[in-house]
């Protein structure tokens, strides 16, 4: 059994949360078929909240639904990767400039503590925790940017960006995990630099390096 039964409440949202977590944690690999009957049995719910949840996840881009073929976990194509990478660069370069203008001593300490925690988990070989902290680090930057419209855009893209980060972490070899965590020290140092160009250049490099790892791990058949 991949999923655990759900408690009472808003079942469609809970189903979506459960399946989303399973995808992010790698329990459902890209391309995996999601059978409504199986999901309903594992979660202990009817087919109605399952269908509603799958529709929600399809809107987020996490799954693909096709007539007569059902649902499957979305597979990232090289084109989608390039589009998401280029969009992230534009958004997050804008974000770091905003963060530089608003960064407090408390926020500096918070971000540094996240990076130190990430490096500790990387040293222990804990891929899942590194991914979690990596995602939280970038989400905290978006919050610190304090820009309503960017926040709305990021909310819409959150699942896709999360999938990007998970794929980038999954593409790491065990010996590369510590280096990946250390790149966040470099990124944070650049954000703390008074020159906005330094932070923007490092953010672009940070995102593009992750995209290169993902691109190298994509199956050749996933071109379009």
DSSP for 157-199, please give it.
HHHHHHHHHHHHHHTS-GGGHHHHHHHHHHHHHHHHSS-HHHH
Residue 169: predicted pLDDT = 80
pTM for the predicted model, two decimal places? 0.75
pLDDT at 163 over 80: no
Per-residue pLDDT tens over the stretch 72-126: 988 878 888 899 899 999 999 999 999 999 999 999 999 999 999 999 999 999 8
Helix 127-145 / helix 105-123 crossing angle, nearest 10 deg = 170
Q: Is the pLDDT of residue 224 over 50?
A: no
User: Distance of CA 160 to CAs 48, 127, 137, Å?
Assistant: 25, 19, 16
What is the structure's pLDDT at 8?
52
**pLDDT tens, residue by residue, 147-159:** 999 988 887 787 7
Local confidence band at 162 (pLDDT 50, 70, 90 cut-offs): confident
Q: Cα-flanking dihedrals φ and ψ of residue 44, to 5°?
A: 70, 35
What is the predicted pLDDT for the residue at 185?
Answer: 96
Q: Which residues, 6 or more positions from 100, have their beta carbon under 8 angstroms from its beta carbon?
A: 191, 194, 196, 199
State the pLDDT at residue 222.
46
Q: Which of the four pLDDT bands, split at 50, 70 and 90, describes residue 166?
A: confident
Instruction: Determine contact, residues 224/77, Cβ cutoff 8 Å.
Output: yes
pLDDT in tens, 12-51: 888 998 998 888 777 887 888 999 999 999 988 999 999 9
Q: How high does pLDDT run on average in the chain? A: 88
Give me the pLDDT at residue 221, please: 43
For residue 133, pLDDT over 90 is answered with yes
Helix residue ranges per DSSP H, the chain: 11-24, 36-43, 47-60, 78-102, 105-123, 127-145, 148-170, 177-192, 196-217
């Amino acid at each position: 059994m991949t999923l655990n039964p759900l408690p009472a409440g808003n079942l469609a949202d809970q189903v979506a949360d459960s399946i989303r977590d399973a995808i992010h944690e790698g329990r459902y690999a890209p391309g995996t078929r999601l059978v409504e009957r199986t999901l309903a049995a594992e979660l202990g719910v009817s087919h109605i909240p399952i269908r509603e949840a799958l529709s929600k996840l399809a809107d987020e881009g996490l799954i693909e639904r096709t007539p007569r073929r059902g649902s499957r976990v979305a597979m990232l194509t090289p084109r989608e990767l390039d589009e998401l990478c280029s969009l992230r660069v534009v958004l997050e370069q804008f974000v770091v400039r905003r963060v530089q203008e608003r960064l407090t001593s408390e926020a500096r300490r918070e971000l540094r503590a996240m990076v130190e925690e990430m490096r500790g988990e990387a040293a222990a070989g804990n891929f899942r925790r590194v991914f979690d902290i990596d995602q939280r680090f970038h989400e905290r930057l978006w919050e610190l940017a304090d820009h309503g419209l960017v926040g709305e855009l990021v909310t819409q893209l959150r699942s896709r960006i999360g999938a990007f980060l998970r794929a980038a972490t999954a593409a790491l070899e065990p010996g590369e995990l510590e280096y990946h965590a250390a790149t966040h020290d470099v990124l944070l140092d650049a954000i703390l630099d008074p020159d906005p160009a330094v932070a923007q250049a490092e953010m672009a490099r940070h995102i593009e390096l992750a995209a290169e790892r993902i691109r190298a791990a994509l199956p050749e058949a996933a071109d379009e």
